């Protein structure tokens, strides 16, 4: 797989995408646990691919992809970034993704646009908790994966031990493509596998034949190895199918093993699929604002072309006109008149687009679809200067408009938003300071709860009642519904008393009432969303002149709030279902950790040297359990959790931490 590097030729037509005719495109993700060297490897790949003259250093804050102040200060990736290099006829868009758990939504968004991925591990720490989470996400989405064992020159490096860790915790379908000499020293280097040698050819043939019946038959029918060319062809086919994972070794710091990694990526991973002649279909996975405040969407082209002045749908029935297109090429984004299938582009003019939206058509089989987890925590945000609270609310509104996962709730003298953790909180503070000039504080951070009605409550406002200013009579009853039922609406009032002339028919009236109730249900008596509630419209009436829709809305809001107040609500906190993996020898310490945090184990099983515990735990304790697991399981524990149900908190109204 040794091929000389040749830079991509300059485009002949400046209006098009910048690659030679017939060139392949590959959208490649680089993912890793924090501190495995992901961003350093990205720099090394760009340097080796000729895209930058000198690799930047995370410690010096000179990397190409980590451009935010907090990224440089902490040495972590927060926002996905794209950089491009070319090898022979392959143009690689390198998507650098976050590795910190607080930014798992950014990781998922980036994974949705990938053709293949390099999962980076440290040769010292090996398989870590986030490594397992990332591998499972890639596997679930069907994205082909290469492993790169980094930092072979660092003291304590043990590449063979890491290889065994991958086999035991991630996958046994591995094909090492090299050997490490002098690991753990400055002289560490990588020797390529020599498949021309019978012994090595036999070994790799055995690994591949487990997944390739044709190769197995040929191997058994011969009295000699099948040949290096046949092995490389089989390796590429099986890698692209996700049946096999090549493993490479190296050091991003010294450059050892980087060239073989580039060759493996361009030879073994699949090119971006799609049809330039199909209707335009693009997926938004990142949104920024230009210095002038204009929305700039980073999109993955799934099919067709997207050109300047094209009128396209933006999701939700909206449409927009493309005003500018920049395509990622070696050296950075370049202004073009159009982007084509497989490319990643920055597009302007898509006002109203949000992360996750489809631009143009949504393909029948859009490929990998990211599952964006809901933020589990909520925090109260205030401006240092109380006079700027209005500006803060507007800034947060703009951020929430871009990112559908930020749920903004106004509150007197403050605002509440959803977050994943403390690092994201710090990132939001940096963003508000840098982009809006607003210094902020965070208060009362806790899990997102809900409220359920405690009992039945009723209320009514009649025409002529003192203080009732609207031309509409309405009576409502609220009562508890089954857990998970959401909001149920029943109308028992006489049909003749409903203002059907305003809404057309009974179904229109019912739909309108449901919409009107959204706001009062969003903030219950204790400040949380009210759910699992049955609301019955018992009475309705209006004068001959009839009410306006606004009067019906206002009356419905007032009646529902009163009925909820009389019914009372119970605050319920979220409970996660968890699966915890840890070495079987550490089981007592792990069970003690779970006990300290109130987790309820339901089943424990062992698989070899690994113990798996399943059960439930308060969502508020998940971060603490995950933090304590590192010590209890000596860095080898993994905790997966998903929201499962809600249960009443011990003190109604208390904000679980």
Tell me the per-residue pLDDT of 398-438, one tens digit each, with 9 for 90 and over.
877 766 667 787 677 788 888 777 767 877 888 888 888 99
| Ramachandran assignment for 325, one of left (phi > 0), alpha (psi -120 to 50 degrees), beta (any other) | beta
pLDDT band of 365, cuts 50, 70, 90: low
Q: What is the pLDDT of residue 229?
A: 87
Q: Once rounded to an integer, what is the mean pLDDT over residues 257-283? A: 90
Closest CA to 375 of 406, 341, 343: 406
Encode pLDDT of 302-325 as tens digits.
Answer: 999 999 999 999 876 789 999 999
19 and 87 Cβ atoms separated by less than 8 Å: no
Q: How confident is the model at residue 108 (pLDDT cuts 50, 70, 90)?
A: low
Q: Choose among 239, 234, 50: nearest CA to 145.
A: 239
**335 and 326 Cβ atoms separated by less than 8 Å:** yes
**Nearest Cα to Cα of residue 418 among 373, 471, 472:** 373
Note the pLDDT of residue 655: 53
- Asked whether the predicted pLDDT for residue 369 surpasses 60, the reply is no
| CA-to-CA dists, residue 281 to 299, 304, 305, 313, 367, angstroms | 10, 6, 8, 10, 12
CB-side exposure of 416: number of CA atoms within 13 Å?
Answer: 20
Q: Where are the beta strands (DSSP E) in 454-532?
A: 457-461, 473-480, 487-491, 529-530
What distance in Å separates the CA atoms of residue 121 and residue 506, rounded to the nearest whole number?
Answer: 61
Q: Please give the Cα distance from 96 to 327 (Å, whole number).
A: 17
- What pLDDT shows up at residue 53? 58
229-233, 288-292, 570-574 — which is least confidently predicted? 288-292
User: So what's the pLDDT on residue 2?
Assistant: 44
Q: Can you give the pLDDT at residue 98?
A: 60
Predicted local distance difference test score (pLDDT) of residue 403: 67
Would you state the pLDDT for residue 509?
A: 96
Whether residue 486 has pLDDT greater than 60:
yes
Q: What's the pLDDT score for residue 513?
A: 97
Helix, strand or coil, per DSSP, at residue 169: helix
Domains of the chain: 24-189+244-268 (3.40.50.300), 281-360 (2.40.30.10), 377-441 (3.30.70.870), 452-567 (3.30.230.10), 573-648 (3.30.70.240)
Beta bridge partners of 578: 615, 641
Of residues 650 and 510, more confidence is placed in 510
Per-residue burial over 59-95, b if 16 or more Cβ lie within 10 Å, else e, is eeeebbbbebebbbebbbbbbbbbbbbbbbbbbbbbb
List CB contacts of 642: < 8 A, sequence separation 6 or more: 576, 577
Cα(544)–Cα(392) distance, rounded to whole angstroms? 46
Using pLDDT thresholds of 50, 70 and 90, give the confidence band for residue 154: very high
> Cα separation of 524 and 505, whole Å?
30
Mean pLDDT along residues 555-566: 97
Stretch among 266-275, 413-422, 562-571 having the lowest mean pLDDT:
413-422
186-205 mean pLDDT: 88
Cα 385 to Cα 242: distance, rounded to the nearest angstrom:
54
Q: Which range among 47-56, 451-460, 644-653 has the greatest average pLDDT?
A: 451-460
Distant-in-sequence, close-in-space partners of 528: CB < 8 Å, separation ≥ 6 = 448, 449, 450, 451, 571
- Beta partners for residue 298, in sequence order: 286, 346
Q: How far apart are CA 443 and CA 383, in angstroms?
A: 11
Cα–Cα dist 328/338, whole Å: 12
Alpha helices in 54-128 (DSSP H): 69-74, 104-111
Over residues 60-101, the pLDDT tens digits come to: 444 444 444 544 444 444 456 788 888 888 889 988 766 445
Residues 496-516, mean pLDDT to the nearest whole number: 95
Arithmetic mean of pLDDT, 179-197: 91
From the list 136, 96, 35, 107, the residue with the least C-alpha distance to 630 is: 35
Burial class of residue 199 in the structure, from the number of CB atoms within 10 Å of its CB (0-12 exposed, 13-18 middle, 19+ buried): exposed
Q: How far apart are CA 639 and CA 600, in angstroms?
A: 14
DSSP for residue 126: B
Per-state percent for the chain, helix, strand, coil, to nearest 5:
30, 30, 40
Q: Residue count of the chain, please give it.
A: 657
The stretch 592-609 carries a mean pLDDT of 93
| pLDDT value at residue 60 | 46
- Please indicate whether residue 425 or residue 149 has the higher confidence score (pLDDT): 149
Q: Mean pLDDT over all residues of the chain? A: 84
In degrees and rounded to multiples of 5, residue 214 shows phi and psi of: -65, -45
Q: In this structure, are residues 99 and 150 in contact, taking their beta carbons and an 8 Å threshold?
A: no
HEC per residue, 252-298: CCCCCCHHHHHHHHHHHCCCCCCCCCCCCEEEEEEEEECCCCCEEEE
Which range, of 67-81, 127-141, 384-398, averages the lowest pLDDT?
Answer: 67-81
pLDDT at 51: 65
Bridge partner residues of 320 (DSSP): 312
What local confidence, expressed as pLDDT, does residue 293 receive?
A: 75
For residue 531, what pLDDT is reported?
A: 96
Residues 6+ apart with CB under 8 A from 587: 604, 611, 613
**Among 87-96, 313-322, 356-365, 586-595, which is the least confidently predicted range?**
356-365
**C-alpha atoms less than 13 angstroms from C-alpha of 451 in its C-beta half-sphere:** 27
pLDDT at 480: 97
Of 288 and 235, the one with more pLDDT:
235
The pTM assigned to this predicted structure is 0.72
Alpha helices (H) along 180-248: 198-209, 213-221, 228-240
Lowest-confidence segment of 110-114, 204-208, 387-391 by average pLDDT: 110-114
pLDDT more than 70, % of the chain: 85
Cβ contact 334:344 at 8 Å: no
49: left (phi over 0), alpha (psi -120 to 50) or beta: alpha
N- to C-terminal Cα separation, the chain: 54
d(CA 288, CA 299): 12
φ, ψ dihedrals at 7, nearest 5°: -65, 155
């Amino acid at each position: 797989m040794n091929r000389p590097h040749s830079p991509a030729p300059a485009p002949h037509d400046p209006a098009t995408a910048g690659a030679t005719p017939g060139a392949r495109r590959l959208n490649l993700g680089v993912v890793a646990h924090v501190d495995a060297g992901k961003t350093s490897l990205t720099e090394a790949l760009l340097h080796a691919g000729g895209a930058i003259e000198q690799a930047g250093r995370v410690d010096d804050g000179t990397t190409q992809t980590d451009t935010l102040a907090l990224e440089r200060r902490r040495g972590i990736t927060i926002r996905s970034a794209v950089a491009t290099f070319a090898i022979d006829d392959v143009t690689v868009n390198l998507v650098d993704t976050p590795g910190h758990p607080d930014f798992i939504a950014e990781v998922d968004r980036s994974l949705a646009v990938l053709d293949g991925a390099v999962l980076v591990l440290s040769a010292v720490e090996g398989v870590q908790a986030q490594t397992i989470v990332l591998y499972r996400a890639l596997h679930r989405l069907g994205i082909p994966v290469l492993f790169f064992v980094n930092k072979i020159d660092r003291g304590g490096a043990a590449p063979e031990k890491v290889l065994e860790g991958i086999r035991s915790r991630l996958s046994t379908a591995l094909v090492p493509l090299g050997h490490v000499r002098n690991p753990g020293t400055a002289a560490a280097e990588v020797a390529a596998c020599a498949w021309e040698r019978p012994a090595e050819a036999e070994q790799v043939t055995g690994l591949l034949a487990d997944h390739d019946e044709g190769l197995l038959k040929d191997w058994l029918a011969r009295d000699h190895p099948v040949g290096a060319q046949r092995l490389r062809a089989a390796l590429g086919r099986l890698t692209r199918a996700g049946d096999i994972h090549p493993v490479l070794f190296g050091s991003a710091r010294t450059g050892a093993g980087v060239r073989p990694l580039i060759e493996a990526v361009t030879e073994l991973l699949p090119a971006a699929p799609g049809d330039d002649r199909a209707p335009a279909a693009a997926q938004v996975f990142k949104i920024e604002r230009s210095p002038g405040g204009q929305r700039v969407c980073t999109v993955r082209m799934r099919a067709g072309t997207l050109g300047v002045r094209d009128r396209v749908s933006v999701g939700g029935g909206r449409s927009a006109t493309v005003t500018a297109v920049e395509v990622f090429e070696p050296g950075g984004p370049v202004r073009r008149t159009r982007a084509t299938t497989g490319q990643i582009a920055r597009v302007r003019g898509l006002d109203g687009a949000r992360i996750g939206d489809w631009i143009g058509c949504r393909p029948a089989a859009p490929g990998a679809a990211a599952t964006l987890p809901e933020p589990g925590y909520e925090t109260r945000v205030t401006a240092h200067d109380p006079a700027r609270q209005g500006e803060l609310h507007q800034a947060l509104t703009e951020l929430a408009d871009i990112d559908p996962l930020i749920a903004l709730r106004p509150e007197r003298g403050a605002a509440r938003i959803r977050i994943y953790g403390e690092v994201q909180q710090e990132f939001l503070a940096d963003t508000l300071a840098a982009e809006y000039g607003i210094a902020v504080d965070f208060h009362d951070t806790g899990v997102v709860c809900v409220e359920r009605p405690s009992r039945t409550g009723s209320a009514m406002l009649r025409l002529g009642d003192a203080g009732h200013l609207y031309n509409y009579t309405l009576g409502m009853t609220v009562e508890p519904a089954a857990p998970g039922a959401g909001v149920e609406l029943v109308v028992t009032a006489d049909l003749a008393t409903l203002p059907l002339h305003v809404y057309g028919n009974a179904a229109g009236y019912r739909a309108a009432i449901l919409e009107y109730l959204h706001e009062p249900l969003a903030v219950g008596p204790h400040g949380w969303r009210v759910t699992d509630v049955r609301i019955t419209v018992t009475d309705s009436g209006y004068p001959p002149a009839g009410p306006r829709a606004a009067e019906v809305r206002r009356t419905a809001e007032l009646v529902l709030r009163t009925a909820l107040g009389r019914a009372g609500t119970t605050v319920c906190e979220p409970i996660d279902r968890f699966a915890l993996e840890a070495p079987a020898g550490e089981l007592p310490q792990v069970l003690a950790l779970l006990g300290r945090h109130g987790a309820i184990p339901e089943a424990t099983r062992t698989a070899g040297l690994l113990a798996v515990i399943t059960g439930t735990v308060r969502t508020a304790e998940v971060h603490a359990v995950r933090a304590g697991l590192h010590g209890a399981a000596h860095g080898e524990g993994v905790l997966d959790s998903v929201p499962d149900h809600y249960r009443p908190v011990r003190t109604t109204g208390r904000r679980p931490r």
